[in-house]
Amino acid sequence: MSVPATMKAARLHEIGKPLVIDTIETPHPLHGDVLIRVRACGIVPNLVNVLHHYPKVAAHLPLPPLPAIFGLDPTGEVVAIGTGVDGVHAGDRVYVNPGRSCGTCRHCWSGDPIACESYTFNGYFGFSHLSKKLFERYPYGGLGEYMTAPASALVKLPECVSFNQAARFGYIGTAYSGLRKAKVSPGSSVLINGGSGTLGVCAVISALALGASRIFATGRNRGLLASVQAIAPGRVAVFSLDDGNFFDWIKTRTSGQGVDVAMDCLGPGASHIAFTEGLRSVRRGGHLVDVGAVSGDVSINIGNMMVRNMTLIASLWFTTEEGRHLAALADTGQLKLAVFEDVSFALKDVNEALARLDSRRGGFSNFVINP
């Protein structure tokens, strides 16, 4: 495929202002990198927050220098390959894990790049001042026609997974990694708080793919909860928080013991009540995982957790290897990507897409940009 000298990209020039479609030079892949023709890029609800408010409300999470190309979850085709890259070919269909790390610290060497002090979300935000270098090396997010990425960040997609579906891998991987850390396996019982939301629906299909036999999903909207139950009616039960607290509901369905794992998918701003009810609903020796970032200090009786031999896990994102698990599970039909309803936009309509995010049908809508 011939690569044009210039490309279109949506760039943020000023915090809080609309993205601007600019024509810029198409990049060349550096050593160890590939060039990708972006076909889809997922946009998550928090992107609006990042573009409008992060420098004020999350100053510890630095943005790339402006003007910047955002876009966290890109998918596309490999079109050019830099030096020092083996095993990747032009035409490969891929998801690009946006997690970037230094590649030379002990965490990177030991296969735990998320622990790297330089860890950075390409096309989104970083986690410390060390992200500056990685933003310089990888300034291209998914909201452009082309982007560069390290070959080590690529997840090859099977034919049965569309570019739009794979653009959802970010939140699916986040839920999947958290459930793996909590040792969810065939036969497990799992409570998912916020089960009808963007992260929650991903957690439900991930728990199903890992073999959980019983999934208890909580939320508010009864219509959305009915759709969550319909994903696997024999294995998924739902509870509306409008009906009160769910502790007794869980206990009566788990012989009084509680669930093996509770996963909290509620985002910042959610009440702490569901989180602490989730903790109460975990059995002796079980695990509570947070992937939604409930904000502020949460009251936890750590002594009680100790005598019950329980584990609390806060889990960020997922590794590229876990992304490869998702591709394999989708290929065999265990990961049910068909639950998502694509809502797709051309690159020129990216601001309209961002404005319409509030109209999504809970976690079922899959908002994507097709550059």
Please give the residue ranges that form the binding site for Zn ion (CB under 5 A). 101-102, 105, 108, 116
State in angstroms the smallest separation of the CB of 118 from Zn ion.
6
Report the nearest approach of Zn ion to the CB of residue 124 (Å).
18
Residues 296-316 as b/e (b if ≥16 CB within 10 A, e otherwise) read: eeeeeeeeeeeeeebeeeebb
Q: Which amino acid, one-letter code, is at 258?
A: G
> What letter represents residue 118's amino acid?
S
Amino acid at 158: P
**What is the per-residue DSSP string for 207-272?**
HHHTT-SEEEEEES-HHHHHHHHHHSTTTEEEEEGGG---HHHHHHHTTTS-EEEEEE---TTS-H
Can you read off the two tokens belonging to residue 270? 């959610």
Closest to Zn ion by CB, 152 or 257: 152
Tell me how far, at minimum, the Cβ of 134 lies from Zn ion, in Å.
Answer: 10
Q: Specify the residue, 40 or 108, whose C-beta has the smaller distance to Zn ion.
A: 108
Q: Which is nearer to Zn ion, 75 or 101 (CB)?
A: 101
Q: How far is the CB of 153 from Zn ion (least distance, A)?
A: 14
| Antiparallel, parallel or unpaired: β 282-290 and 259-264 | parallel
Nearer to Zn ion, 46 or 101 (CB): 101
Q: Which residue number has the CB closest to Zn ion?
A: 116
Q: Distance (Å, rounded) from C-alpha 54 to C-alpha 206?
A: 29
What angle (nearest 5°) sits at the alpha carbon of residue 298, between those of residues 296 and 303?
A: 150
Among residues 133 and 360, whose Cβ is nearest to Zn ion? 133
- The least CB distance from residue 171 to Zn ion, in Å, is 24
Closer Cβ to Zn ion, 105 or 313, answer by number: 105
Q: How far is the CB of 101 from Zn ion (least distance, A)?
A: 4
